[in-house]
Amino acid sequence: MTTVLEATDVFKEFQEGRGEVVQVLRGVSLSLSRGEIVGLEGPSGSGKTTLLSILGCILTASSGRVVVDGEDADPRRPSRLPAIRRKSIGFVFQQFNLFPALTALENVEYALNVKGVGGDDARREAERVLDAVGLSDRRHFLPRDLSGGQKQRVAIARALSGRSPILLADEPTANLDSQIGAQVLELFRALAKKEHRALLVVTHDPKVRTICDRMLRIRDGQVAADGIAA
Amino acid sequence: MVDLATKSLLHDRLRFLITVSGVAFAVTLVFVQVGLFLGLLDNASITIDHVSADLWVTSRNTPNVDFAHTFPETSVQRVRSVPGVARADNLIIWFMTVNLPSGAQEGTLVYALEDFRSWNIPWNVESGNLDDLKRGQYFFLDASAVKRYGPFSTGEYREILGQRMKIIGRTQDARSFTTTPISFMDFDRAQRLSPDLLKNRTTYILVKLAPGADPAAVKAEIARRLPYNDVYTKKEWAARSRRYWVQSTGIGLNMYITVFLGCLVGVVVVAQTLYTSTMEHIKEFGTVKAIGGGNLDIYRILGKQASIAAVAGFVLGSLMAYAMRPAIAKIDLKLIIPPTFAAAVFVGSIAMCLAAALISFRKVASIDPALVFRT
């Protein structure tokens, strides 16, 4: 399988008030391949979200190396990071983070516009991914008129749009009830597999394990275990 | 392309309304203040603007058209002999007292010429024949005098400097800066009304240039021949008359202060609402960054929202200002809004709103996209 995301010996430090340095990540290494679904779990404060932010090129590592779809996310060139995000990464957030003024279709289409896809191409692609997540009939609904599960499916459609090879999801089921959460996870798994995307899911939810090929456990800023999901 | 800026702006209609109201308030204030100012200044030079003279000869250091001083009427002969002068006539502009039927005493600014028609003054005659002015103790009175004198009509008499004079015509639009009503009478009649001050005297010489004559050369030659007078082109004289009132009354400063305060209120309202909106939508801007957008994309959104607020506020503010015109006219004031000024206010509104958005720009530049992961 082709490796699309690789982190090697990643450290991350934050300066807190009064000059105190907090080390959040301490030498994390991992890799993701196309079509692979990996879960990332760990207690609160273990560095999961920081790692996700670095892998998603939202934050830069203090040291170590991150290669995204063959491109080095060099912390010395932070201006390159938005371009890497546009080209290679799709996000799904715990709070969905949809634009409340845009319909489901427009939310997806706008993400495509940001990625440089416009006009009819964006409209067709947005309709395709909304159809894939089963929301064709809700495409003209504003987020306020959608249920939590539907909102998360729009968020998944947005992440899938533009054919980014890497999908990063932060607690995608945290705001959904268990039944809807299970449906969303299954949908996410099926689409990621079908379209050969690499999917990294940060979670506290034990059900997520059921869709993962591999589980990573992070503790005190280090990967404590990397193994086949149970 | 999905227009996130417009859709987000219109999504929160109450906030949009507040923002637009802030801009509209500033625009209305600027239009009304500057419009009234221009209306007043227009009165300060309205007769100069309408009289078809290319050059005005005045006594030395006359500050404005209403405050004339006399000089010998024979000076006009010297002007007539200057090459390039097609016509030159004496004009008296003089303040005289009027006794009203009520017993009250008021003032009038008398414009006295031998041949009004040749100089396009008065330019808006409501009734009466100007040629009749020479035939007796007659005068024309501008309709605006109603406010100071009370109702009047042609055929009635008023006492000017103690002499009974018949109103034989009405004019319109002839105003003075001080709102003193303007009347028109024959040149000799005016001299005879005030012989002590006006006999063989004039206050201005109006000059019409011959076709092809060089105004600067003619002006210089008149100035050489009349060393105790000043000579102005029409434009210079109008500007000098207006400048006098701006500088001596403080209305200019008053206007600038009000315009400044209006703009300040507009900037504060727009900046405050845009900034609050930015703070409330900070996570959305973080999402824009997370999905690959940069600061520039967000600046565009904020800039567009500010521009939309500016355009909507300008339209609303303009409509409000124009709607006030009839009410302002009723109290005998003019609201002059030249198209170039309206265009300047439009550009100013956009600049004001973009300036107000700068605070939000600064905030957005410091957004940590990682906030999208926070709950």
Angle between helices B13-50 and B251-280 in degrees, nearest 10: 160
Q: Are residues B21 and B131 in the same domain?
A: no
Q: Are residues B37 and B74 in the same domain?
A: no
Q: Are residues B30 and B68 in the same domain?
A: no
Residues of B in contact with A50 (CB under 8 A): 370
Structure confidence at residue B358 (pLDDT): 85
Distance CA B190, CA B160 (A): 10
Residues of B in contact with A119 (CB under 8 A): 1
Mean pLDDT along residues B208-220: 96
The amino acid sitting at A98 is: L
A 1-60 near B (Cβ less than 8 A): 49-50, 52-53, 56, 58-59
Q: A169 is written with which tokens?
A: 């999801």
User: Is B69 part of any domain?
Assistant: yes
| Residue-wise pLDDT tens digits, B251-268 | 888 878 888 887 788 778
Mean pLDDT along residues B108-120: 95
Output b/e per residue, B207-218; b: 16+ Cβ within 10 A: bbbeeebeeeeb
User: Exposed/middle/buried for A62, CB within 10 Å: 0-12, 13-18, 19+?
Assistant: middle
Question: Percentage of chain B surpassing pLDDT 90?
Answer: 61
Mean pLDDT along residues B314-343: 91
Structure confidence at residue B349 (pLDDT): 87
Residues of A in contact with B284 (CB under 8 A): 97, 99-100
- Return the ∠ at Cα B313 (arms to B309 and B314), rounded to 5°: 120
Structure confidence at residue B375 (pLDDT): 62
Residues 6 or more apart in contact with residue A183 via CB below 8 angstroms: A149
Question: Taking a C-beta distance cutoff of 8 angstroms, is the pair B309, B353 a contact?
Answer: yes
Q: A24 is written with which tokens?
A: 């959040």
User: Is B195 part of any domain?
Assistant: yes
Q: Are residues B139 and B272 in the same domain?
A: no
Mean pLDDT along residues A193-221: 88
Instruction: Kindly report which listed range (A172-176, B23-27, B327-331) carries the lowest average pLDDT score.
Output: A172-176
Structure confidence at residue A228 (pLDDT): 65
Q: Do A93 and B372 touch (CB under 8 A)?
A: yes
Report the C-alpha dihedral over residues A64, A52, B372, A77, rounded to 10 degrees: 30
| Residue-wise pLDDT tens digits, A40-87 | 998 888 888 889 999 999 888 999 999 999 999 888 888 888 899 999
The pair phi, psi for residue A86, each rounded to 5°, is: -60, -40
Mean pLDDT along residues B361-375: 76
Q: Do B291 and A94 touch (CB under 8 A)?
A: no
Say how many CA atoms lie within 13 Å of B156 toward its Cβ. 12
Residues 6 or more apart in contact with residue B206 via CB below 8 angstroms: B51, B53, B55, B56, B57, B88, B89, B90, B91, B113, B119
User: Please, what is the average pLDDT of chain B?
Assistant: 91
User: Is B232 part of any domain?
Assistant: no
Q: Which residue has the higher pLDDT, B312 or B36?
A: B312
pLDDT for A229 beyond 70: no
Question: Percentage of chain A surpassing pLDDT 90?
Answer: 50
Q: Are residues B326 and B197 in the same domain?
A: no
Among B194, B227, B260, give the residue marking a domain's end: B227
Among B227, B242, B265, give the residue marking a domain's end: B227
Selected for mutation to probe chain A from B291, B305, B308, B374 (highest A CB count within 10 Å) is B291
pLDDT for A17 beyond 90: no
Q: For chain B, how many structural domains are there in total?
A: 2
User: Is B223 part of any domain?
Assistant: yes
The amino acid sitting at A42 is: G
Q: Where are the alpha helices (H) located in chain B, listed in sequence order?
A: 4-11, 13-50, 75-80, 146-149, 187-193, 195-198, 215-225, 234-249, 251-280, 282-290, 295-330, 339-365
User: Please, what is the average pLDDT of chain A?
Assistant: 89
User: Is B51 part of any domain?
Assistant: no
Mean pLDDT along residues B89-114: 95
* Chain B interface includes A200 (CB < 8 A): no
Name the band, by pLDDT with cuts 50, 70 and 90, for residue B115. very high
Residues of B in contact with A52 (CB under 8 A): 373
Domain boundaries, chain A: 36-61+75-228
Q: Are residues B156 and B191 in the same domain?
A: yes
Of A35, A38, A21, A11, give the one whose Cα is nearest residue A202. Answer: A38
Instruction: Kindly report which listed range (A127-131, B38-42, B115-119, B324-328) carries the lowest average pLDDT score.
Output: B38-42
Instruction: Kindly report which listed range (A83-97, B129-143, B350-364) carries the lowest average pLDDT score.
Output: B350-364
Q: Do A97 and B294 touch (CB under 8 A)?
A: no
| Residue-wise pLDDT tens digits, B143-163 | 999 989 999 999 999 999 999
Residues 6 or more apart in contact with residue B55 via CB below 8 angstroms: B206, B207, B209, B215, B218, B219, B222, B231, B232, B233, B234
Q: Are residues B35 and B65 in the same domain?
A: no
* Chain B interface includes A143 (CB < 8 A): no
Instruction: Kindly report which listed range (A29-38, B141-150, B160-169, B358-367) carries the lowest average pLDDT score.
Output: B358-367
Nearest CA in chain B to A83: B292
User: Is B209 part of any domain?
Assistant: yes
Distance CA B300, CA B183 (A): 60
Under CATH, domain A36-61+75-228 is a member of which superfamily? P-loop containing nucleotide triphosphate hydrolases (3.40.50.300)
pLDDT for B194 beyond 90: yes
Question: Percentage of chain B surpassing pLDDT 70?
Answer: 99
User: Is B53 part of any domain?
Assistant: no
Say how many CA atoms lie within 13 Å of A94 toward its Cβ. 16
Structural domain boundaries, residue B88: 61-227
User: Is B259 part of any domain?
Assistant: yes
Structure confidence at residue A230 (pLDDT): 54
Beta-bridge partner residues of B230: B58
Residues of B in contact with A91 (CB under 8 A): 290-291, 372
| Residue-wise pLDDT tens digits, B161-172 | 999 999 999 999
What does pTM read for this prediction? 0.77
Question: Taking a C-beta distance cutoff of 8 angstroms, is the pair A42, A203 a contact?
Answer: no
| Residue-wise pLDDT tens digits, A90-129 | 999 888 899 999 999 999 999 999 999 999 999 999 999 9
DSSP string, B98-131: EE-TTS-EEEEEEEEES-SGGGT-SS-EEES-GG
Q: Are residues B31 and B119 in the same domain?
A: no
Residues of A in contact with B7 (CB under 8 A): 99, 101-102, 106
Q: Do B290 and A86 touch (CB under 8 A)?
A: no
Mean pLDDT along residues A174-196: 83
Q: Are residues B325 and B178 in the same domain?
A: no
Question: Taking a C-beta distance cutoff of 8 angstroms, is the pair B321, B313 a contact?
Answer: no
